[in-house]
Amino acid sequence: MKERCLVLIKPDTLEKRLTGAVVDRLERLGLDIVAAKAVSLTEELVRQHYAHLAGKPFLEGVIRYMMGDYNHISNHKIIAFVFQGKDCVAKIRTELGATNPDNAAPYTIRGSFGKFDKAADIVYNCVHASDNAQDAEREIALWFKPEEVLDA
Ligand code: ADP
């Protein structure tokens, strides 16, 4: 199977209506979209998704951000995608840029559209992408039923 990557369009990107701009940039990396849906996020799902952040001081802020508490988003909406293709994870993460938009190259997605609210310690970094191919498979199983993902 070709490498896959979970991509989540976060609430700041939804509020700014930049989903299309982000997906355009990712698709042009030569990758295939094999799943896509709008999800009404539950706190349980976001806590499972960010289980690796347990104990981090910023975890509760990340959860509030993902739940849409800091943006004008109804239904706790997130848009989830699965991209597939050669070196999918590395290509997407390079296009996203560094986790903190202040450290991201200006031409990356996070450098272009993100911001860091230092006072509140909220990293508005636009998009989630899986960290590696193994994490991607765990995350895809968390967010999608097998029949929702095409085998491209
Ligand atoms: P990435 O999303 O780039 O893979 P991590 O998995 O390390 O980064 O972190 C998950 C999310 O937690 C980030 O996307 C960001 O929203 C938030 N985050 C990470 N580090 C910090 C931090 N130092 N302060 C506030 N939020 C952070």
pLDDT for 95-109, tens place per residue? 999 999 999 999 999
Instruction: Identify which has the larger pLDDT, 138 or 151.
Output: 138
d(CA 99, ligand 1 centre) in Å: 6
Nearest protein Cα to ligand 1, atom 16: 123
DSSP string for the chain: ---EEEEEE-HHHHHTT-HHHHHHHHHTTTPEEEEEEEEE--HHHHHHHTGGGTT-TTHHHHHHHHTTTTTT-STTEEEEEEEESTTHHHHHHHHH--SSGGGS-TTSHHHHH-EEETTTTEEE-SEEE-SSHHHHHHHHHHH--GGGS---
Residues with beta carbon inside 6 Å of ligand 1? 53, 58, 62, 99, 121, 123, 125, 128, 131
- Looking at the chain, the whole-number percentage of residues with pLDDT higher than 70 is 99
pLDDT for 33-56, tens place per residue? 999 999 999 999 999 999 999 999
d(CA 152, ligand 1 centre) in Å: 30
Average pLDDT, the chain: 97
Catalytic residues: 128
Q: Which atom of ligand 1 is nearest to the CA of 50?
A: 10
All domains in the chain, ordered by first residue: 4-144 (3.30.70.141)
